[in-house]
Amino acid sequence: MTSKNKIFAAAQITSLRGDIETNLATHKRTTELAAKEGVQLLVFPELSLTGYEMDLAEALQITPTDRIFDPLQKLAHDHNMRVLVGAPIKATAGKPYLAAVILGGNEPEIYAKIHLHGAENDYFQCGTNHKVIPHSAGHIGCAICADLTHTSHAAGAHAAGADVYAVGALINEAAWAREEPLLHGYAQNHDMTVVFSNFATKSGAYTPVGKSSIWAPGGALVAQAKGTEECLVIARQSGHDWRGKTVSL
């Protein structure tokens, strides 16, 4: 059952190369702040747990039930949040998935990126299925970075029942010029809330534009990071009224 009063957040953070311990601490601190704000859905960037370090994926791949997620899982569950964390996830065979671990339900779940981009194909295998999470914040459709460049992906999530499109990404300035109109269009054309989370600082070979953002159904921009500051971008819905803000990390 969804609520008329909803609070969404995109985390714009720094992830250190391969430093899972430090990155987990950043995730926990950010999630604690989101919980104080009453956030129901919190989205982290692509591969936020390890940084966008494709060459480390095989060595750092984990399972969604790994004990390292226990503190975040408990925190999210205790506050009835859904938290999407980017990580390389072990598959039953072959290369790992480039995935989002979905925390806060009865047990962790994953969404595996469907549309891999460029060199990602050398290190990961693609997923095949949409993931839509029922929650009080809405039916949350998951997406990871290049997924959003395929209009069929957002359309497929919507067809699967999503009224929220949650995107963890790593996008630079050039890509932002192309992809921001797509994100706005998904909110407008599919009448979905769109939550877009980007990195604050360089990860792998990419320097992000920041600009983590949330659009309301219909396409109105509710909240957006000014640039590459480390922050939570928060949107609050109360009936038909939407309010946005950013909170420094």
Average pLDDT over residues 146-155: 99
Q: Report the topology of domain 5-248.
A: Nitrilase/N-carbamoyl-D-aminoacid amidohydrolase (3.60.110)
Whether residue 112 is predicted with pLDDT greater than 70 in this model: the reply is yes
User: Residues 60-85: pLDDT tens digits?
Assistant: 999 999 999 999 999 999 999 999 99
In this structure, what is the dihedral angle of CA atoms 31, 187, 64, 14, given to the nearest 10 degrees?
-50
What was the pLDDT predicted at 188?
99
In this structure, what is the dihedral angle of CA atoms 27, 116, 53, 81, given to the nearest 10 degrees?
0
To the nearest whole number, what is the mean pLDDT of the chain? 98
Whether residue 4 is predicted with pLDDT greater than 80 in this model: the reply is no
Inter-residue contact 185 to 219 (CB < 8 Å) = yes
Whether residue 234 is predicted with pLDDT greater than 80 in this model: the reply is yes
User: Any idea which residue has 């969604």 for tokens?
Assistant: 64
Report the share of the chain in percent with pLDDT over 90: 98
Report the share of the chain in percent with pLDDT over 70: 99
The sign of the CA dihedral 210, 214, 218, 220 is: negative
Whether residue 11 is predicted with pLDDT greater than 70 in this model: the reply is yes
pTM for this entry: 0.98
What was the pLDDT predicted at 57?
98
C-beta neighbour count of 102 within 10 angstroms: 24
- Taking the C-alpha atoms of residue 86 and residue 240, their distance in angstroms, rounded to an integer, is 31
What was the pLDDT predicted at 1?
52
Whether residue 49 is predicted with pLDDT greater than 80 in this model: the reply is yes
What was the pLDDT predicted at 2?
67
Report DSSP state, residue 44.
P
User: Residues 200-230: pLDDT tens digits?
Assistant: 999 999 999 999 999 999 999 999 999 999 9
- Taking the C-alpha atoms of residue 211 and residue 171, their distance in angstroms, rounded to an integer, is 9
Nearest C-alpha neighbor of 34 from the set 244, 236, 239, 234: 234
